[in-house]
């Protein structure tokens, strides 16, 4: 049994626990299960894309990508159609530019194929290794703030304010109150070192939601909408590509945008979660992340599979940090998450009953867990401190991991160039900075 687990998932019985890995996988699923509800809702704006089919496509893309990550890369990361990328697909490419969803799916397919080629040729790994150590540490902290912000926003702790952009929500009632109570329950379990504390926090908060009402509707926050349902077919979406615009300028722009967002979101997640969980290996002067090529390949294959199924770019989820924070370290964690997505196909009403107020505390706690990397940044050296600070703060403020990384790289090159420290700027960093500047100018 243990030998089989080691061969399949990289599980070491001397270092890992089956119970911990499975709990971590379930925790990851619970923190990212919202995509099963959000994705169909976003795509409902497009005629010809039935919500039921989009739900099934979303779950299947997550299952395929996460299984590849589990069995091939043997890493505790989960994949699903990415937030932000789905909005770009629907609101920019289709509703903004006026193209069909078949055109957008074709762009996603091409992007996935390019990703596979970049991975096979080792270009993606070379890009990751080119990022300076200072930015690597900043990326981890920035992602910590970003996912904590996601949790606070989804639960109403932080709300929109036309005068100040954001402000504190009404934390004395409704979802914000439930999230705050859940936060301290979850924090108490984590501080007491309860096994599966984050997962138990999610479940306890979900149960509490049955007895706390949403003031805007007068209904309980946790709504049990049923138990089981048969998944819809993906036939209306399966391999519905449009090749007539293959060589157009707009197709090039759309593919390029998908490519940049997906590449640096995934890269940022891999760097940040590894540093936050001390899963890096020291090799000479820099930290090394083992198995990068296989993780990138899993991401690439998932994107191609997602396009064929009929959904937007599938990417590695930053919410995987919740499972890693729970102790997940091997592919068994990702396998458990994939099994949960498979169950969700048939138990979607039950799984979708978990409110955002219940997952918010998990994201906030994991954000705390990812902050220690800040202490390893040389803040006294402004050439390194300014790019690191911009990377950290822009991820939550721009609501984008990729924008934080891109601005971080550009500022790193400019700060060192202005200071006359040209020897500290590699050729790769110069090339990346120029490409990133062009990205913001042209797109």
Q: Where are the domains of the chain?
A: 2-442
Residue 282 has a pLDDT of 63
Number of neighbours of residue 337 by Cβ within 10 angstroms: 37
**CA 2 – CA 175 distance, rounded (Å):** 43
Whole-model pTM? 0.77
Residue 286 has a pLDDT of 58
Q: Which residues are within 8 A (CB) of 164 and not within 5 positions of it... i.e. 6 or more apart?
A: none
Number of neighbours of residue 211 by Cβ within 10 angstroms: 10
The per-residue pLDDT string of the chain (443 residues; one tens digit each, 9 = 90 and over) reads: 667 887 888 888 878 889 999 999 999 998 888 888 778 878 878 999 988 899 999 999 999 999 999 999 999 999 999 876 887 788 878 888 788 999 999 999 999 999 899 888 888 777 767 778 888 788 878 878 988 888 898 899 999 999 999 999 999 999 999 999 999 999 998 899 776 788 788 889 989 999 999 888 889 998 877 778 888 899 999 999 998 888 887 888 788 778 877 777 777 778 777 776 677 766 655 567 777 788 889 989 999 999 999 999 898 888 888 888 888 989 999 999 999 999 999 887 777 778 888 888 888 888 888 788 888 889 999 999 999 999 999 989 988 777 888 899 999 999 999 999 999 898 989 998 998 898 888 76
Cα Rg of the chain, angstroms? 21
Residue 1 has a pLDDT of 66
Residue 179 has a pLDDT of 95
**CA 29 – CA 377 distance, rounded (Å):** 32
Rounded to 10 deg, the angle between the 292-309 and 249-276 helix axes is 130
**CA 78 – CA 299 distance, rounded (Å):** 10
Angle at alpha carbon of residue 147, lines to 222 and 124, rounded to 5°: 130
Matching residue, tokens 């690597």:
136
**400 closest CA partner among 20, 23, 56, 85:** 85
Matching residue, tokens 């759309």:
254
User: How close are the terminal C-alpha atoms of the chain, in Å?
Assistant: 52
- Both tokens assigned to 145: 């703030």
- Both tokens assigned to 329: 């370290």
Residue 51, phi-psi category: left (phi > 0), alpha (psi -120 to 50), beta (remainder): alpha
Label residue 194 exposed, middle or buried (CB < 10 Å: 0-12, 13-18, 19+): middle
DSSP 157: S
Residue 283 has a pLDDT of 61
Q: Residue 7 is inside which H or E element, if any?
A: helix 2-9
Instruction: Please check whether residue 79 is in contact with residue 299, taking contact to mean a CB–CB distance below 8 angstroms.
Output: yes
């Amino acid at each position: 049994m243990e030998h089989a687990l080691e061969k399949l998932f990289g599980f070491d019985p001397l270092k890992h626990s089956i119970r911990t890995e499975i709990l971590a996988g379930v925790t990851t699923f619970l923190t990212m299960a919202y995509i099963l509800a959000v994705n169909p809702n976003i795509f409902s704006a497009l005629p010809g894309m039935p919500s039921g089919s989009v739900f099934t496509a979303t779950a299947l893309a997550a299952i395929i990508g996460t299984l590849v990550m589990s069995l091939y890369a043997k890493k505790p990361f989960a994949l699903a159609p990415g937030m932000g990328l789905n909005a770009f697909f629907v609101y920019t490419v289709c509703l903004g530019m006026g193209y069909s969803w078949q055109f957008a799916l074709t762009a996603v397919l091409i992007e996935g194929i390019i990703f596979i080629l970049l991975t096979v040729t080792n270009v993606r790994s070379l890009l990751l290794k080119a990022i300076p150590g200072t930015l690597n540490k900043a990326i981890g902290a920035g992602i910590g703030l970003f996912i904590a912000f996601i949790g606070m926003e989804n639960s109403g702790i932080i709300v929109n304010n036309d005068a100040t952009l954001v402000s504190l929500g009404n934390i004395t009632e409704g979802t914000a109150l439930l999230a705050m109570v859940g936060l301290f329950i979850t924090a108490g379990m984590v501080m007491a070192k309860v096994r599966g504390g984050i997962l138990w926090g999610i479940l306890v908060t979900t149960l509490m939601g049955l007895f706390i009402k949403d003031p805007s509707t007068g209904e309980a926050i946790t709504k049990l909408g049923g138990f089981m349902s048969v998944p819809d077919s993906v036939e209306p979406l399966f391999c519905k590509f449009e090749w007539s615009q293959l060589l157009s300028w707009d197709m090039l722009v759309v593919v390029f945008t998908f490519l940049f967002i997906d590449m640096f979101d995934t890269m940022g997640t891999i760097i940040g979660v590894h540093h936050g969980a001390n899963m890096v290996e020291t090799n000479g002067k820099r930290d090394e992340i083992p198995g990068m090529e296989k993780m990138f390949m899993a991401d690439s294959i998932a994107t191609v599979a997602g396009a064929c199924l009929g959904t937007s770019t599938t990417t590695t989820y930053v919410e995987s940090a919740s499972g890693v924070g729970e102790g997940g370290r091997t592919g068994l964690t990702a396998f458990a998450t994939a099994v949960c997505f498979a169950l969700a196909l048939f138990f979607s009403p039950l799984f979708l009953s978990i409110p955002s107020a219940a997952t918010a505390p998990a994201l906030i706690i994991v954000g705390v867990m990812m902050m220690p990397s800040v202490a390893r940044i040389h803040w006294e050296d402004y050439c390194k401190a300014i790019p690191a600070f911009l990377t950290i703060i822009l991820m939550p403020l721009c609501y984008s991991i990729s924008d934080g990384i891109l601005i971080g790289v550009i500022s790193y090159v400019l700060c060192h160039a202005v200071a006359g420290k040209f020897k500290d700027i590699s050729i790769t960093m110069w090339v990346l900075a120029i490409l990133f500047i062009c990205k913001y100018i042209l797109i």
